[in-house]
Structure 1
């Protein structure tokens, strides 16, 4: 590549004058044309990473995604460090404010989710860092009066063989006046020093020494504490209440109703919590009425019996093959509602003044938090300042802003900073859950042992119904508050045209890697009054169970090894087949120790291929997962240990759901409340997990969620190998 030609007549004296009078920082927020829309390139650049060098030579990266344990902060810092040839340890980070510049271009909202943070930033953040590096080296070349190509970046300096080095801070005054060329190269992979090698987490030290501020840690002068008493019914409304005893309790400031329940405000948290026990409240059932889990699944089954499904995917002639098949193999798979169980319960600090609203919250979507706070105060979203903190787990739960809305409503009344903190019981019973779903599978095998029919029908709710009230106004920022309801309605009505289609119910089922000649995928929406939202791996968390369990059933019907059966269907999917083969090899497929049995599963989600072999033992009706071998192809690996940790975390999260996870409803009420009846996998139950990462030069893809989908079917398939029982309902329970 030829060297860019940039004219400059700046003398060394002029450089020194510019540097000294600049006085502030060099802040770059680059518009990267490669992801801009054709209509308005500059306006549509949303995933903008802002880099700042101050007069003390400190480089700061403003993180435009939240850090909830998935390693985003480390990954993004590594990308910048690589292009600027500086140690990641030398880069300070801070979370971005709610602003249009920081939107995720895949969602048109400032949202962290979908395992997209590193994938979206891979090219554009490196381009931003490379652009800053070019400005700095070009400025130094002007000062030294040397060719640009002779200058290099090194640990916060521009260096030259003959002239020594200059700190970036001394180049600020010159660099901020330069114009960027259009052809700045990125560092080639062969020169990577940090990408693929950097394993130390940027947030390890502050978290280890208690320096990382989570939402629950927020403290403000004059702050009071609040709890909310929620309805005992899902979506229930307040009929009447008596708060005389509570108001007379020590430290209590006020007790009053809000849209979501009854707020109790006190000087200290436990004063508010104890006073809440003294409030006598009567509740009216909501739209859910006296619904039970049994009612819900009976409704799903009825929907699947009706011939009114939306066809999502059709290949070949499935209807003809089905009619002429000599034998049909059918199975029905059922998965329950699931809670998120984030270890940091929902919390928010809100302060409403006559100038606006300030929010401190562990939210996955700061601009949605703006909308939520605006809705219950006298201010527009632009008057709401959101301070994003570290998150003690997200998993999609913190995309819903109910806790922010509650805190803002309370603060609007008491006119003091308010910290709202949910109890574990609040969090479990008032979650927005992973939807329950039912899958009906129909297949047939031809005379050569290959599947000739694959018909997959799904009934479950959609997620858009529950997030759109905040998402639509956030996407169309600047619209007056009175349009919020209309925007939400338009968003729902225009799915697939003006708004994205909600494909979460069939997510993963429409991208299976197997070669299936006659395929039908259809979906029936189940109207739902139980709050639902995104959950780690979203629709893949249940479609994978149905797909990979049924593939195993077809293999059994074909009298073929589950591994061989899958291999035969992956002839046109080399990356998928490689992942599957290596998983089988590393697990010692077919060579399990005595008393242990193996099951295999493979799934493609978030543009990442993952195969897992589960090794289980069974004692009576107790299933014990002894070992999991996991192989992942996620493109170029930026931080290997983070990839490994995310696979391990996804497997453990998925095992909790596979073995224990179940939210049940009776009489319109959630039956679970805490970890005694909604248990998580314990340390002594965690299997040996062996993770292998495929070397790749492809762009990086998601890692936060793809480790979860294969684990439940892998375990279920292993249990079948051990017992002959085909478990088609989660959580997995053996009959005596």
Structure 2
């Protein structure tokens, strides 16, 4: 199996554009030459209230002793606004009851270089090795590329928060030691109190201002004692009390003086422009204020949101759509056509898949996955106030720096004139990486000359969703005489959702433009999760880019959602073909991956694995993702045509977790998200519109559909990995494998019981 030909003009692994980074042999040299003209160090740009002292970019302490931890990552329910403060508080020696959290301003010290590396890596950067990583790091830092996603928050910021806490502890100890005239090394902080071995004590607030005047030692000492440590404890989440009593502010909770409310219509999916609107009918609604028309959308503004949305319904906006309307049949046809175009690019390979024994058993199967909707609890929302001095915008965003830049461009203002208040999100799963609502709200506020809160309806949220990528796979495997997998071939037709997302949020492309531009891009981002963790001597993964016409976006798990489904479902088929028990079949190929093997044996023991015998209703799946390992066993069946999952057991090795309880929450959340992906979370499309948009009609799991969920965290001393996405990709293949034992049928499409 040789390298598949590529179409003329096809691009591979697009990341940074030419204006951002010179791609090619002279890229590193070009960056080195420009290095002298750029800052080599950055200062924290924190605002401090009276009585507050800023120690570094991540920490402030006030005179009362309250510890204010600065968090640059968007809280979407994953617990990051507790985890990062816990890391810092542990090194500082703080009292957990004194911890407060504040969102970070936009600045280079908060750039997520790790996600930037994953997202923007291309052929050149991988070839360049450390120089390529350095180039992406520099771009991310100098661009203040603040990003939340793909479980990178803890791996990226664990060390900086440890250092921030340790640095503050040293400075506070130095200030206390100076008052007591003792060596600072003899001082320590426990439970928020500075002491010199218990002889004398001071509260942190009493020495905070003095502490900031001292210098740090050349080598920063970290805490060594194992007693009174906050890391590893199941501390209560800091955001829970306000979410329980309703005082927690989400975007729709913002209230400003003289604020108006808006609803919006943006037409069908694709290149749609506004053609007509019945403004007379809209005026009949009590509270209606104004219709605002733009080329591609129309918004109604009223004294309350219900009136604004009702006015839009009566206005009955009509849009003209260019090109072929998006439809499920067209999406499926485009994916199949991608194979016929012979435009595949070999992105992963090991050995020689062609050099196999002639008497090997060959198994081939085809799989397909529909696009998966985000369906966050909180519909898209933003509030804006435009004044003489600039603009203020309140919104939840996973890319605040890019969002602020887009708002500034839309208003023709410098970025510094836009103040963006990053809020927590009521879910998001990647949808908050896009920020069009913030731009729309700012334009509406300028039009009205008063604050405006824009809230998309649930229908609008579904129509304009940027779902995960649809994909088709042609899998082939060869079994030797001993039942071992000797060869493996995966050919995947799929568009790249991450390439489209970057084009929209970084380069201002319209959704249909980004979709078309990315249609010829072959990239590892589109086949993530298909890099085999098993020791198969000869294997290859080829990506066939496809133009499905549906704008796609960042999602929980991204391409791992289909990658794991293809891989683990087919692995089960091979085990059945080899007449081997599914767990043993996997473990025999995991000699070089003991952590994943440990997860499999653990989940088998916990779940009472029966070997996947006929009628057991048990299924297995395993996956590796960004340094984290997971194995899942489910018990499932079909009752009166509906999928029922009575049990989910997961074993996870995610390294040394900061807060085990939150880690389990993250995995459980991912498992349920993956179950929704298996059961529904997808809609058919016809004539440029989803054919349904009511959540109750999407086949999503309810409490009665899900039984016991158990998550076991395997003890590990490895660095902590992000777990927010880990559970989502493995549930669907595990359920599909379980259904085979009860129905005798292979379910090779997602959703599993999809019509058509």
Normalising to structure 2: TM-score of the pair? 0.86
1:557 aligns with 2:577: yes
CA contact (8 A) 2:679 2:700 kept: no
Give 1:113's aligned residue: 149
1:508 aligns with 2:529: yes
CA contact (8 A) 1:199 1:640 kept: no
1:635 aligns with 2:655: yes
1:573 aligns with 2:593: yes
Give 2:438's aligned residue: 404
Equivalent-residue separation in structure 2 for 1:559 and 1:189 (angstroms): 53
Counterpart secondary structure, 1:66: coil
Out of 269, 291, 295, the residue aligned to residue 330 of structure 2 is 295
Equivalent-residue separation in structure 2 for 1:684 and 1:530 (angstroms): 33
CA contact (8 A) 1:452 1:518 kept: yes
After superposition, residues 284-683 of structure 1 pair within 5 angstroms as 284-287=320-323, 289-321=324-356, 324=358, 326-469=360-503, 471-472=505-506, 503-510=524-531, 512-590=532-610, 596-619=616-639, 621-683=641-703
Q: CA separation of 1:384/1:177 partners in 2, compared to 1, >3 Å: closer, same or farther?
A: same
Equivalent-residue separation in structure 1 for 2:563 and 2:448 (angstroms): 46
1:139 aligns with 2:172: no
Q: CA deviation at 1:545?
A: 0.3
Give 2:109's aligned residue: 101
Give 1:33's aligned residue: none
After superposition, residues 258-297 of structure 1 pair within 5 angstroms as 258-287=294-323, 289-297=324-332
Give 2:186's aligned residue: 150
Equivalent-residue separation in structure 2 for 1:209 and 1:354 (angstroms): 36
Out of 59, 63, 71, the residue aligned to residue 55 of structure 1 is 63
Q: CA separation of 1:573/1:44 partners in 2, compared to 1, >3 Å: closer, same or farther?
A: farther
Equivalent-residue separation in structure 1 for 2:224 and 2:192 (angstroms): 20
Equivalent-residue separation in structure 2 for 1:93 and 1:492 (angstroms): 41
CA contact (8 A) 2:282 2:288 kept: yes
After alignment, is 388-397 or 159-168 more displaced? 159-168
Counterpart secondary structure, 2:750: coil
Equivalent-residue separation in structure 1 for 2:513 and 2:320 (angstroms): 26
Deviations 1:146-174 (A, max 9, x none): 12222111233311246521222232343
Q: CA separation of 1:598/1:464 partners in 2, compared to 1, >3 Å: closer, same or farther?
A: closer
Give 2:123's aligned residue: none
Deviations 1:445-477 (A, max 9, x none): 01111111100111111124432345436xxxx
CA contact (8 A) 2:289 2:302 kept: yes
Deviations 1:403-444 (A, max 9, x none): 112112211211211000111111111111111111111111
Give 2:707's aligned residue: 687
CA contact (8 A) 1:603 1:609 kept: yes
Q: CA deviation at 1:41?
A: 8.7
After alignment, is 98-107 or 385-394 more displaced? 98-107
1:194 aligns with 2:214: no
Q: CA separation of 1:665/1:274 partners in 2, compared to 1, >3 Å: closer, same or farther?
A: same
Q: CA separation of 1:494/1:619 partners in 2, compared to 1, >3 Å: closer, same or farther?
A: closer
Deviations 1:102-131 (A, max 9, x none): 221222221110101111121111111100
Q: CA deviation at 1:290?
A: 2.9
Q: CA deviation at 1:501?
A: 9.2
Q: CA separation of 1:295/1:161 partners in 2, compared to 1, >3 Å: closer, same or farther?
A: closer
Equivalent-residue separation in structure 2 for 1:189 and 1:161 (angstroms): 14
Equivalent-residue separation in structure 1 for 2:565 and 2:496 (angstroms): 18
Give 1:16's aligned residue: none
Q: CA deviation at 1:307?
A: 2.7
Q: CA deviation at 1:260?
A: 3.5
Give 2:4's aligned residue: none
Deviations 1:71-103 (A, max 9, x none): 101111111111111222211111112233322
Q: CA deviation at 1:363?
A: 1.5
Give 1:477's aligned residue: none
1:69 aligns with 2:77: yes
Q: CA separation of 1:548/1:593 partners in 2, compared to 1, >3 Å: closer, same or farther?
A: closer
Q: CA deviation at 1:381?
A: 2.3
Q: CA separation of 1:343/1:430 partners in 2, compared to 1, >3 Å: closer, same or farther?
A: same
Provide the alpha-carbon RMSD of the alignment.
2.8
Equivalent-residue separation in structure 2 for 1:679 and 1:733 (angstroms): 9
Equivalent-residue separation in structure 1 for 2:470 and 2:518 (angstroms): 25
Deviations 1:168-190 (A, max 9, x none): 22323432221111211222373
Counterpart secondary structure, 1:709: helix
CA contact (8 A) 1:508 1:544 kept: yes
Equivalent-residue separation in structure 2 for 1:274 and 1:514 (angstroms): 56
Equivalent-residue separation in structure 1 for 2:755 and 2:449 (angstroms): 57
Q: CA separation of 1:188/1:578 partners in 2, compared to 1, >3 Å: closer, same or farther?
A: farther
Equivalent-residue separation in structure 2 for 1:46 and 1:584 (angstroms): 49
Equivalent-residue separation in structure 1 for 2:159 and 2:634 (angstroms): 36
Equivalent-residue separation in structure 2 for 1:193 and 1:733 (angstroms): 48
Counterpart secondary structure, 1:330: strand
Out of 691, 697, 722, the residue aligned to residue 702 of structure 1 is 722
Mark the runs of 5 or more structure 2 residues left unpaired by the alignment: 1-30, 46-55, 117-139
CA contact (8 A) 2:269 2:463 kept: no
Q: CA separation of 1:619/1:335 partners in 2, compared to 1, >3 Å: closer, same or farther?
A: same
Out of 276, 284, 287, the residue aligned to residue 240 of structure 1 is 276
Q: CA deviation at 1:594?
A: 11
CA contact (8 A) 1:122 1:699 kept: no
Q: CA separation of 1:327/1:574 partners in 2, compared to 1, >3 Å: closer, same or farther?
A: closer
CA contact (8 A) 2:106 2:400 kept: yes
Equivalent-residue separation in structure 2 for 1:429 and 1:565 (angstroms): 43
CA contact (8 A) 1:429 1:672 kept: no
Counterpart secondary structure, 1:201: coil
Q: CA separation of 1:411/1:466 partners in 2, compared to 1, >3 Å: closer, same or farther?
A: farther
CA contact (8 A) 1:49 1:63 kept: no
Counterpart secondary structure, 1:321: coil
Deviations 1:362-394 (A, max 9, x none): 212211221231232121222211111121001
Equivalent-residue separation in structure 2 for 1:85 and 1:550 (angstroms): 50
Mark the runs of 5 or more structure 1 residues left unpaired by the alignment: 1-36, 474-483
Counterpart secondary structure, 1:713: helix
Count of aligned residue pairs for this structure pair: 683
Give 1:159's aligned residue: 195
Deviations 1:510-534 (A, max 9, x none): 2x21001111111011124311101
Out of 87, 90, 94, the residue aligned to residue 98 of structure 2 is 90
Q: CA separation of 1:74/1:680 partners in 2, compared to 1, >3 Å: closer, same or farther?
A: same
